[in-house]
Amino acid sequence: MPEEKLPTKFLPAEKADPAEVKRQSKVLAEAPVITSLLDGMMNFSVILNRQRQAVFVNKAFAAFLEAHGVTELLGQRLGNLAGCAHSTETPGGCGTTESCRRCGSALALEQALDGREAETECRIMSKRLGEDLDLRVSVKPFKYNGEDFILMSLMDISSQKRREVLERLFFHDILNTAGGVQGLVRLMAESEPSEIVTYVPATVKASDRMVDQILSQRDLASAERGDLQLRLSDVGAAEFLGEIAGLFKAHEIAKNKEIEVLGACYDAHIKTDKILLSRVIGNLLKNALEAESPGAKITLSCEKTADGAAFIVHNPACMPENSRLQVFQRSFSTKGAGRGLGTYSIRLLTEKYLKGKVSFTTGPEGTIFRVEYPALI
């Protein structure tokens, strides 16, 4: 009777037993030309068996993993080695979850298992490393001693990608604010002379915000050099949400849509960088507005938490599966090249700079994003 296959959402879940992994590792250890060559490389390299388990890890990758507390290398899959957030979702681990169907590394391995070389990029949302890992992945299937193996080479491109993203993020955010200013100026142009004065305060605030964002971009560039100094100030959660809502109500994407700030929550205060916080909540609101049709209502709310404050953005639409599986991924966009950085920037700014955390749910009740920040960074 054939052995029943283990459940998987993408690549096969079956693994070689420890004795087989040990045997394969020994076979490769007896090939010094291969192992010495890979050990001499600065890039990370790992040789996998047909079950995508590591049977050889070069010195550079082993040292990196051991520095992060990973000592059991052989028999592990890439996502398990790197502590991918999705690798514990199924018994089969890396390559077998729903999210793996859109992972660059898993897609490359799918081709390698069919005997084809491949090169791609992947982003591992790592719990173990404490930060995300951007990798350029290349795979090359080969035979040795009559057995099939896969050579996987990994190049850490995290710093390069972060610089690219921050540059694109700047233009993304500055266009958001410019759109608000443009909307206010158009309202002034279409108003009676006696009504124009009512739009002046909001226009001044929006233009001030634009200048602040330019200064903020300068600060983010400093962060890449390791010398970012956050500009901390006291932020009242309720008043802050009112400002954000006021800016976007004049934006073109809010036309025929309602933005409502729920509840008072006037006792919720945090000391943080208000400009970076504005970028986070502004992107959440913009994404919610873009996801809705005319007539929809988007709500903003805040809560006082034990350690600070939480901000919640809700829109009625349920997020499509493709978007849900790739939320917070840098490379994903439904809006074309150079767009779609909203959710990535939310996580980057919240976790790396503002020391907060972000989560979301989506379903019949709509889509809810929640970001939490400490009372003091």
Among 134, 156, 178, which residue terminates a domain?
Answer: 156
Is 184 a domain residue? no
164 and 97 in one domain? no
Q: pLDDT band at 149, cuts 50/70/90?
A: very high
The yes-or-no verdict on residue 332 having pLDDT over 60 is: no
Q: Is 164 found in the same domain as 120?
A: no
User: 353 and 369 share a domain?
Assistant: yes
Q: What is the pTM of this model?
A: 0.61
60 — pLDDT class (breaks 50, 70, 90): very high
Q: Does residue 330 share a domain with residue 304?
A: yes
Instruction: Identify whether residues 361 and 232 lie together within a single domain.
Output: yes
Beta bridge partner(s), residue 269: 236
pLDDT exceeds cutoff 60 at 1 = no
**pLDDT score at 163:** 75
* pLDDT tens by residue, 80-132: 999 999 999 999 999 999 999 999 999 999 999 999 999 999 989 887 776 78
Q: What is the pLDDT of residue 96?
A: 97
| 164 in the same domain as 130 | no
Of 126, 156, 186, the position where a domain reaches its end is 156
Q: Tell me the average pLDDT across 154-183.
A: 82
Q: What is the pLDDT of residue 334?
A: 45
Q: How confident is the model at residue 214 (pLDDT cuts 50, 70, 90)?
A: confident
Could you report the per-residue pLDDT of 293-319, keeping only the tens digit for each? 999 999 999 999 999 999 999 999 998
- How far apart are alpha carbons 319 and 313 in whole angstroms? 14
Q: Are residues 93 and 164 in the same domain?
A: no
Confirm whether 311 is domain-assigned: yes
- Specify the pLDDT at position 369: 95
The Cα 288–Cα 250 span in angstroms is: 15
Nearest to 291 by CA among 325, 314, 260, 261: 314
Please identify, among 133, 156, 179, the residue that sits at the C-terminal boundary of a domain: 156
Same domain flag for 232 and 350: yes
Q: Do the domain assignments include residue 213?
A: no
**What was the pLDDT predicted at 224?**
56
Domain that holds residue 315: 160-168+224-374
Q: Total structural domains in the chain?
A: 2
**Is the sign of the CA dihedral 354, 355, 360, 366 positive or negative?**
negative
Same domain, 237 and 313: yes
Report which residue type is found at 154.
L
Q: Is residue 257 part of a domain?
A: yes
Residue 34 CB partners (closer than 8 Å, separation 6+): 28, 47, 56, 144
The proportion of the chain whose per-residue pLDDT surpasses 70, expressed as a percent, equals 91
Q: What is the CATH number of the domain that holds 119?
A: 3.30.450.20
Instruction: Decide if 194 is inside a domain.
Output: no
Residues 105 and 164 in one domain: no
Whether 55 is covered by a domain: the verdict is yes
Same domain, 249 and 338: yes
Among the residue ranges 10-14, 22-26, 340-344, the one predicted with the least confidence is 340-344
Task: Determine, yes or no, domain membership for 74.
Answer: yes
Give whichever of 11-20, 218-227, 258-267 has the largest mean pLDDT: 11-20
Higher pLDDT, 334 or 78: 78
| Nearest CA-CA partner of 377 in 265, 241, 227, 230 | 230
Q: Are 289 and 254 in contact (CB under 8 A)?
A: yes
Do residues 334 and 228 share a domain?
A: yes
Q: Calculate helix-pair angle for 274-290, 200-224, nearest 10 degrees.
A: 110
Distance between CA atoms of 220 and 336, rounded to whole angstroms? Answer: 24
Calpha distance 218→289 (Å, rounded) = 28
Residue 148 pairs in a beta bridge with: 143
Helix (H) or strand (E) holding 298: strand 297-304
Residue 209 lies in a domain: no
How open is the CA angle 76-80-86, to the nearest 5 degrees?
145
Check whether 337 has a pLDDT greater than 50. no
Secondary structure percentages of the chain, helix, strand, coil, to 5 = 45, 25, 35
Cα dist from 220 to 149, 209, 226, 284, 354, whole Å = 43, 16, 10, 19, 12
One-letter amino acid for residue 219 of the chain = D
| CATH number of the domain within which 279 lies | 3.30.565.10
